[in-house]
Amino acid sequence: MFSFERPLLAQRPSLKRSGMGVRTEKQFLSALDAWYVVKSEAYCNLISVFVRELQLPAMSSRAVACRQYRFLNRHTVEFAVPADVTSDLSRVEYLGGGSFGNVIKIPEYICKDGRKACVAIKKLYEPFRDEKNAQRVFRELRLLQMMVHENIVKLLDLYTPDTSASSLRNVYIVSEYAGNSLSEILRRQREMGNVCLLTPDHHKFIIYQLLRALKYIHSASVIHRDLKPGNLALTADCDLSVLDFGQARTLNNDDTALSAYVMTRWYRSPEVMFWKIDSYDTQADMWSVGCILAELSLGQPLFPGEDSVAQYRLIAELCGSPDKDLMGKLARNEAILNVITHLGVYKRKRFADFFPKSFPPDLIDFLDRVLVLDPEKRMTVQEALAHPYLAEYSVPEDEPVACGPFVIKELEAKWVMRSSCYVDRAPHEMARKNEHADRLIQRLLKNKTMTCETLYENDWLHMRDIGYTIVNDSRKIIENKEMSSLFYRYH
């Protein structure tokens, strides 16, 4: 299934992979300049958006050619695949899915230029169901259009089977198939008793390519914010691609308050998860790089916390408690200071004592400099590329940067709660949430604000569905408009 014979200094010229076509940033900077707003009663007057210059095909012409394809996995997933881009659906493979969509693989997809390519097609799950998710889709598509780099997944096409703007519900993203996810490779390795599928040379080459991509991403004033093994893909030749820019954010946005609920917990930086500094920057990604490298080297996650408190303890036991300088930066946040004080003081361990003796000194030093609590003292992507651990790979003139900061205008929309939302949902689908809804109502009545904030921090997608159940059941809310509106202000 996996084949990683490549390193030997990665044979430098092969870093120049045959891409999906040369594109310029200028073309993509002008490729998308507007989102269009469509009133949609079924989506409770939310702004239903679609892309103009991303060349979302004329819906009526493409819809006729679309075919439905069902995959019997844990769930039945229905895909609409345009007939004009592939002649053989028998080799289509279901790759997986999550809360934001499902992905299939098509070995022979006919691209716009007539060339056949192996692609992954992602069906977005209700991309316009609310403002927050629409904004996430907007950023991901915009950034994928703008980014041109060998170690970043390439967007090839977009389409929808829907026949009109008013009925727009589905968007499909076609990108190059970048290989198996690193998380799947590591999982298989653990299942085989930590059989070495990836050698230390592979680890080094993987991290080099990740940093090479981050150098480009950060030069565009973009934070990825969700770096983890599941968002990295490897080909059989160990070529790496960074995937999933749904959580990415530009630093030059007028709104500098960045969300704390990003990244999978195990790879989330302390400033994002605990300090909640309003304007954290690209250094948040560097912490994730350290966590990924440690997992590659150890064969298991470094900080597998079951919850936020457990996560903090694991981090503090290795990296220590915040020093005086960092505590001074957190002085304005009394709640965070109380939590840190309550959990006690930890002294930073010597990484050379913590990690196995078999780890080379330059690897330990790299981890020691990147897994630092204070983001201002953490190693930058440029410093990481110049570190002795990666010295044999780093060639600055072959590590491209963006032409300038990417500017993405935020989608301007207001979420309007309507009790008619989700009325088209199957009764059994909503009924599954009634038990959760009953418990949630009691919590809301006791402490509305705290309950809403807690829900938002933990699982806003699932809890929003529960919220709809409550709102649609007038017998439960008894016309308590204050409660329902408060709930949705946090969603």
| Cα angle, residue 289 at apex, residues 335 and 228 outer, rounded to 5° | 85
List the CATH number of the domain containing 120: 3.30.200.20
pTM of the entire predicted model: 0.73
Query: Would 110 be classed as within a structural domain?
Result: yes
Q: Are residues 309 and 226 in the same domain?
A: yes
Candidates 157, 226, 239, 244; catalytic one: 226
CATH number at residue 315: 1.10.510.10
In sequence order, the 6+-apart residues with CB closer than 8 A to the CB of 318 are 302, 303, 348, 349, 351, 354, 371
Whether 408 is in a domain gets the answer: no
Q: Per the domain annotation, does 25 fall within a domain?
A: no
If asked whether residues 381 and 253 sit together in one domain, one would say: yes
Binding region for ATP = 123
Is the domain of 259 the same as that of 359?
yes
Tens digit of pLDDT at every position of the chain (491 positions): 555 555 544 454 444 443 322 333 333 233 322 222 222 333 323 333 444 434 455 444 554 455 666 665 555 677 888 777 766 667 788 887 766 788 888 888 887 777 888 999 988 877 776 667 777 787 888 889 889 999 999 998 887 777 665 666 778 888 999 999 999 999 998 888 767 788 999 999 999 999 999 999 999 999 998 899 999 999 988 999 999 888 888 876 544 344 444 457 899 888 877 765 555 688 999 999 999 999 999 999 999 988 878 888 899 999 998 888 887 777 566 767 777 778 788 999 999 999 999 999 999 999 999 999 989 899 999 999 999 999 899 899 999 999 988 887 665 444 333 333 333 444 444 445 555 656 666 666 666 555 555 554 444 444 555 554 544 443 444 444 444 443 333 33
Do 433 and 366 reside in the same domain of the chain?
A: no
Rg (the chain; Cα; Å): 23
Instruction: Confirm whether 61 is domain-assigned.
Output: yes
The amino acid present at 253, given as its one-letter code, is N
β-pairing, 172-176 with 249-250?
unpaired
One domain, residues 293 and 170: no
Examine the domain organization and report whether 348 and 466 are in the same domain.
Answer: no
- Residue 93, strand partner residues: 105
Task: Please report whether residue 414 resides in a domain.
Answer: no
Contact of 284 with 375, CB cutoff 8 Å = yes
Strand (E) or helix (H) holding 469: helix 448-472
| 374 classed as catalytic | no
Task: Name the DSSP letter for residue 332.
Answer: T
Residues of each annotated binding site: 123
The reply to whether 434 falls in a domain is yes
Nearest residue to 131 via CA among 139, 141, 122, 123: 139
Residues 222 and 335 occupy one common structural domain: yes
Residues 184 and 312 in one domain: yes
Q: Which of 149, 176, 203 is the last residue of a domain?
A: 176
Residue 103's domain comprises 38-176
Domain shared by 262 and 379, yes or no: yes
Residue 413 inside a domain? The answer is no
Residue 363 in tokens: 């690897």
Asked if the structure places residue 256 within a domain, the reply is: yes
Pick the last residue of a domain from 176, 211, 235.
Answer: 176
Are residues 198 and 280 both part of a single domain?
yes
> Are residues 465 and 358 both part of a single domain?
no
Q: Could you tell me the end-to-end alpha-carbon distance of the chain, in angstroms, rounded to an integer? A: 42
Contacts of 286 (CB under 8 A, 6+ apart): 214, 269, 370, 375, 378, 379, 380, 381, 384
- Map residue 95 onto helix, strand or coil: strand
107 shares its domain with 235: no
Q: What whole-number distance in Å separates Cα of residue 315 and Cα of residue 322? A: 11
Domain boundary (156, 176, 196) is at 176
Looking at the 3D structure of the chain, how many domains does it have? 3
